[in-house]
Structure 1
Amino acid sequence: MAITGGDGLSRVDDRRSLIRNTLANMACLLLGTTATAMLVRWELSLGWDYVAAATLTLSFIFGFVIYFLPSHPHRDFGYANFVTAFRASLVSLTAATVLCFETLHQADAILWILVGVVVLALSLDGMDGYLARKYRQESKLGARFDMEVDAFLILILSVAAATLQKAGAWVLLIGLMRYAFVAASWFIAALGADLPSSFRRKAVCVTQVSTLCLILVPAVDIPVSNYLAALSLAMLTVSFAIDIVFLLRNRVAA
């Protein structure tokens, strides 16, 4: 059935504008990420798997955004989401480095560069929220996008900590805990409910990234790195426990 009327046409135009704007932003960032990965590959004599890993990782993240794009209420992708997408680009390059650089534990210079990239990504973490509020572009998509990029960064950093033997394999629990929570929500409906905004949750997230980033510093080694990872895991466990109890109590009350 044809859509008639000014409001209907306006909504269609808004959707088309959003799709065009989003794809244009993502294409630029994907191209820039691939070009950067190729430059790094040439400088460090890495294999093409490095370029493929960075490009495919970012493509997967952007695919997640496109999947949820129909629920986005704004006409444009927005400055805030662009910053988050840029952080996703940095995280993708980080992931490729951790997964494809076979002698990472022997390359202090690369580790320092990796730490610098993570610090940059972390420093931009609060900017997307600020821009969303300033330009009134807040949305569930933006919040979810930001959360998923943070979660993936934490997973990659925990893999790096384990790979560098800065802590035992148990350090992977830091990165996997959020995904285990999501998986549990598929079987326990109460865990899939929305959680209220929490400063505690944001602070714990920043602490995870900061601590794991510190662990990667070449000068930080066992047992200090072990203690830091254990403290980080304990904080994360307590935070998730608080949220789980809150959700289960709300379900019982309902």
Structure 2
Amino acid sequence: MPLARSTDPSPSASRDGLLAFGALAGALTALTLLADVELPVLVASGLLGLAVLGVVVRSTVRRRGEPYGPADRVTVGRSVLVALAAAFLPVGLAPLLGQDGGRPSDAWCWALFAVALPAWLLDGIDGRVARRTGTATRAGARFDQEVDAALLLVLSVALAARLGLPEAGWVVVIGALRYLFLLGLRLRPAWRRDLPFSSYRRVVAGIQGGVLLGALVPLIPLPLAVAATAVALVLLLGSFGRDVLWLERGARELS
């Protein structure tokens, strides 16, 4: 039986949003106490984490027309982890801004890995919960995709730092490609069509998070991390290129 549609903000979504901010605030407090960095870096970390979570919670609380379900609650939990991972970025990037440059410490890589790994592993849980409870919605699917995209962007920036900036700046393309595609939709409205299901697209998308996480582990030699990330990027570019060609052919047929 389909859930009734709602036009008002869900009390559950608002409550979960407050809980998410509370959890992130506690984690940021712990980061402030444990991280040996200057105050401006800690302020930047807190602001970045809160900004990421704020965007996520805002999109959920302001949802109209589709209900907020248990799968969305899982995704909100994932978003707290993603926001905390984003808060780690200024701490790890701070050494790169010094006079001597450098790379993030192994301890930072391990800490970010520990936070991002459960966020990545939980990716398949929310969809499974939605299907089993009969609460799958288009809004929920978009919500899940945006959290995935934010996680990939955070991981790609972190890995680029580990591999060495600015030379490894190309790694950030993995995280930025989703947002570049959204920009393309604004510039090319004819692309605003639902893409057909593609197992290749799903597999390639899943590979990205696994490769970025694995390459972030300090035990992985840098040359191997570079090679694996380059292969992942080529696969991702091929997937996006195929989708863009399909959308462009459809746009020309309609014109």
Name the amino acid aligned to 2:65: S
**Structure 2 partner of 1:56:** 51
Deviations 1:35-85 (A, max 9, x none): 111112112245243233222220122123334x0132x2xx211001111
Paired with 1:57 and 1:30, the residues of 2 have a C-alpha distance of 11
Of residues 24, 31, 55, the one that matches 2:22 is 31
Of residues 53, 70, 81, the one that matches 2:64 is 70
Does the 8 Å contact 1:204/1:235 carry over to 2? yes
Further displaced range: 123-132 or 51-60:
51-60
Q: CA deviation at 1:251?
A: 2.5
Secondary structure of 2:187's match? coil
Paired with 2:87 and 2:128, the residues of 1 have a C-alpha distance of 29
Paired with 1:160 and 1:245, the residues of 2 have a C-alpha distance of 31
Name the amino acid aligned to 1:244: V
**Structure 1 partner of 2:31:** 40
Does the 8 Å contact 1:34/1:54 carry over to 2? no
Secondary structure of 1:209's match? helix
Q: CA deviation at 1:212?
A: 0.7
Percentage of identical aligned residues: 29
Paired with 2:185 and 2:135, the residues of 1 have a C-alpha distance of 28
RMSD of aligned Cα (Å): 2.0
TM-score by length of 2: 0.86
Is 1:250 the counterpart of 2:241? The answer is no
Name the amino acid aligned to 1:88: S
Name the amino acid aligned to 1:148: E
Paired with 2:237 and 2:209, the residues of 1 have a C-alpha distance of 15
The ranges of structure 1 where at least 4 consecutive aligned residues each deviate by more than 4 angstroms after the TM superposition are: none
Of residues 7, 11, 19, the one that matches 1:20 is 11
Structure 1 gap segments, 5+ residues each: 1-9
Paired with 1:37 and 1:103, the residues of 2 have a C-alpha distance of 20
Equivalent pairs counted in the alignment come to 238
Name the amino acid aligned to 2:120: L
Q: CA deviation at 1:87?
A: 0.8
Does the 8 Å contact 1:171/1:229 carry over to 2? yes
Paired with 1:197 and 1:148, the residues of 2 have a C-alpha distance of 18
Q: Within 5 A, what are the aligned runs for 1:179-194? A: 179-194=179-194
Q: CA deviation at 1:103?
A: 4.5
Is 1:236 the counterpart of 2:231? The answer is no
**Structure 2 partner of 1:204:** 204
Name the amino acid aligned to 2:184: A
